[in-house]
Amino acid sequence: MRLTIHTSVEKSFEEVFAGFDFELFKKLTPVNPPVTIQRFDGCATGDEVHIEMTVPILKRKERWISRIVRSGKVQGHATYTDEYFFVDEGIELPFFLRFWRHTHRIIAAENGGSVIVDDIEYRTPLWLLPFVAPVISAQFRARQPLYQEHFKK
C-alpha cells in the first residue's frame, strides 16, 4: 500500500526541517493506541526511533523500531525546488505490519513557506488490510493540523 499526504505550512523549509525534533515527534505521536517513546535519535542517517504501543483489542504491547536509512538536502534546479528529506524504514515492526518505509520531504514553496510530504509505503497481512489501512490513513491525516499549528510564523 502507498499513502501520500501533502501539508502546506507557513515556515521556510529550513525552519521546518530544523523543527523535526523530539518535541514535534511527541506532538505527532498518536494518543490511540497508547504509545511510549523509548528512543528518538533524530532525523539523520543511522538515527533510530523506538516506540512501544499497546494494541487495545489484544491488550498487548508491540515494539516498533525504525532507522533513518537516507537523509539530505536536494538543491534546486530547473525541474525541482529546494528540499530536505529523510527516509525511515522499519527494522522491527508490530505484528500488523510486514514492511514500512516513510519518506519525509520538506519542500520549499514559492510563497516562502513549505510543503511537508509524508510518503508512506507499507505491507500488512492481506487479511488485516481492511483494518490497518484506514487506521494508518487517519493517523497521518491527523498530523496535518498539528504540522500547521507547530509551523506557524
DSSP-derived 3-state class of residue 20: coil
The string of pLDDT tens digits covering residues 101-133 is 999 999 999 899 999 999 999 999 989 999 999
pLDDT at 59: 81
Mean pLDDT to the nearest integer, 73-90: 80
**CATH for 37:** 3.30.530.20
Is residue 17 predicted with pLDDT exceeding 60? yes
DSSP-derived 3-state class of residue 23: helix
Is residue 58 predicted with pLDDT exceeding 90? no
pLDDT at 51: 97
Tally of structural domains, the chain: 1
* Domain of residue 59, residue span: 2-150
The string of pLDDT tens digits covering residues 43-56 is 999 999 999 999 87
- The pTM score is 0.93
DSSP 69-116: EEEEEE--BTTB--EEEEEEEEEE--TT-SEEEEEEEEEE-TTS-EEE
